[in-house]
Chain A
Amino acid sequence: MIRLQNICKSFGDLQVLKGINLDIEEGEVVSIIGPSGTGKSTLLRCINCLEIADEGKIQIGDYSVDVTKITKQDELWLRRNTGMVFQKFYLFNNKTALQNITEGLRVVKKMNKIEAENKALEILEQMDLLDKKDSYPSNLSGGQQQRIAIGRALALEPKILLLDEPTSALDPELVNEVLSIIKKLAKQNKTMLIVTHEINFARNVSDRICFMDNGMILEQGPAKEVVDNPKNERTKQFLNVIKTRG
């Protein structure tokens, strides 16, 4: 289980996260929706320690970290046990598709070359990209890059996969190939926390949806309930804008 308690984060005078509490069960898929600039991405980055929160506790399984007393060791542990998928993929440009996936296995998990490659090939097959194993990121489409990025994070068998607007930088035609991979992962009961603007996708794939605005979670509940019958006024307003947009 993943438990976030009272996560606060400020950038200078700007308070981005105002005490976030969130529990995620093993195998649960939780989506976070909400307007831009409300701290959704920052929350994921705080879990992955790309940002260090100012206050709060992060618990993953039995490992609990008070961020005010976080050590380098804790940071590495959290990063190694949470997988991050970025909006803009950030595949290693100097590595092939296969090497992007083996990199973490070799360097972080200290696997030998053959073992790592076999595992990476397995993952590429899952991502339906076996034929692209020797391609460099510069020669792959956005959708292909994002699928490899998901594979890179999955390879390390994280306790939770964090996806930060995984389809926002993609051409509309490529969105579906990435969404269908995420759907597949949800069916395999991978624990995931997804920040997304794809409301319909979130409704269909997640167990639970959190609506975030202004650094706080204003409403959360079963996915369909939040989208179809929002309780909070701000949530209603936000969803209305999206629905009328089509």
Chain B
Amino acid sequence: MNFDFGFMIRVIPIMLKYSTITLRLSFFAILIGVMIAFFIAMIVHAKVPVLNKFFKLYISFFRGTPLMAQLFCFNFGVLPLSNRLALRVSSFEAALIILSLCSAAYMAESLRAAISSIHIGQMEAAQSIGMTYMQAMFRIIIPQAIRVAIPTLFGTFINIVKDTSLVFAIGVKEMMAVAQLEGASGYRYLEAYVCVLLVYWALTSVLGFIQKKIEIKLGKSVGETV
């Protein structure tokens, strides 16, 4: 059996076309996930009664169960409970909802840990000059915490991109689904899936590159010289 480069090169444009689905899904899942994660991390850090307990349970659930099972349960279990809802929510949206909720659980933990890692003296100093808790959080604590959280946050971003490869299982037509179709057309599975891998690798490499840039920039914000 020989590797058909010609086939792979023909598949690449198709993959790139469908990689926009991956990109869109990843981008919005990261965006929504980060926002939810911030909210949760602040609540858990401030130990807001009731909500604090609720979100700890939330984090434990989404980190402790497989993403594939969450996707299936939501798409084939929860959504059909309300027929009208199931009609209005596309499989792309269902995937986006679950990916956002799940990644938010991971990122909330990273952010909470990062916030706790900032010395209590920073908060005390901010409060001692008369800043409110919220002012101190947003102006002093969180900017420092983000720098600490960047490596683990980007780890989650990369996982989100990779996890989008699971959503074909609930009927989102993205790269994996297309690779299967294209591969089947000429029994060229190897070429099709290698192509998928390369596209994913390229996407996550870009993220890695961005991470490095951000780390350098944030390092400067506390006076590190490179």
Contacts and interface: CB of A to CB of B under 8 A. Distances in A.
Chain B associates with chain A: yes
Interface of A: 48-50, 76, 79-80, 83-84, 86, 88, 90-96, 103-104, 107-108, 135-139, 149, 152-153, 156
B60 interface: no
Contacts of B169: none
Interface in B95-148: 119, 121-122, 124-132, 135, 139-140, 143-144, 147
The 3 closest A-B pairs by CB, nearest first: A136-B223, A80-B130, A90-B121
Interface of B: 119, 121-122, 124-132, 135, 139-140, 143-144, 147, 221-224
B226 to A, nearest CB: 13
A91 B221 CA distance: 14
Given A76-B132, A138-B222, A138-B223, A94 B140 contact: yes
A48 B128 contact: yes
Contacts of A86: 121, 124-125, 128
B127 A50 contact: yes
B interface SS class? helix
Contacts of B223: 96, 135-139
Contact of B129 (A93, A94, A108): A108
A86 B120 CA distance: 12
A96 B220 CA distance: 11
A79 B132 CA distance: 10
B158 to A, nearest CB: 26
A76 B130 contact: yes
Contacts of A108: 129-131
Contacts of B126: 92
Contacts of A152: 125, 129
B128 A94 contact: no
A104 B222 contact: no
B130 A136 contact: no
A107 B129 CA distance: 10
